[in-house]
Amino acid sequence: MSAEHKIVGREELVARLGRPRNERVVFTNGCFDVLHRGHVEYLESARGLGDLLVVGLNTDDSVRRLKGPSRPVNPEEDRAYVLAGLASVDYVTFFAEDTPRDLIVALLPDVLVKGGDYRREDIVGGAEVEAAGGEVVVAPLVPGRSTTAILQRAAQNA
């Protein structure tokens, strides 16, 4: 499937992957502003937990509210296309809210994954996923790889 065909709206995503389903759906989310090795390893690891990986992507407005007025570096359409181009990613969908709770509740993935900088009990949507019989997984981070560190290095070298 081409990258642009992997980018779908919430309603279409739920229609394609809603319950009951035969595939084990894994969900993660984030800004994915400056894609780096840590992101790629994280997404590959998440994909290994099921049959399909769905990435919920913060819209530009959502990123600005979370990260500040200078972010995102890359617009949402570009971030979505790059993510969709990865072999580990099956679908990308946007969410404009500050958290993906509504998206997670609509999809109810079989596995909800977040990076190791989160505590399991603090993962948004985790209680809803577990109540529906799913599981919540905290994936390890790749040491020394972060968008913030990359942007700081770029600013120092400018």
Q: What is the pLDDT of residues 62-113, one digit of tens each?
A: 999 999 999 999 999 999 999 999 999 999 999 999 999 999 999 999 999 9
pLDDT of residue 152: 66
Structure confidence by residue, pLDDT tens digits, 10-53: 999 999 999 899 999 999 999 999 898 889 999 999 999 999 99
Domain edges within the chain: 3-157
pTM: 0.91
Say how far apart CA 83 and CA 29 lie, in whole Å. 11
Q: What is the pLDDT of residue 146?
A: 66
3-157 CATH, one of 3.10.129.10, 3.40.50.720, 3.30.70.1070, 3.40.50.620? 3.40.50.620
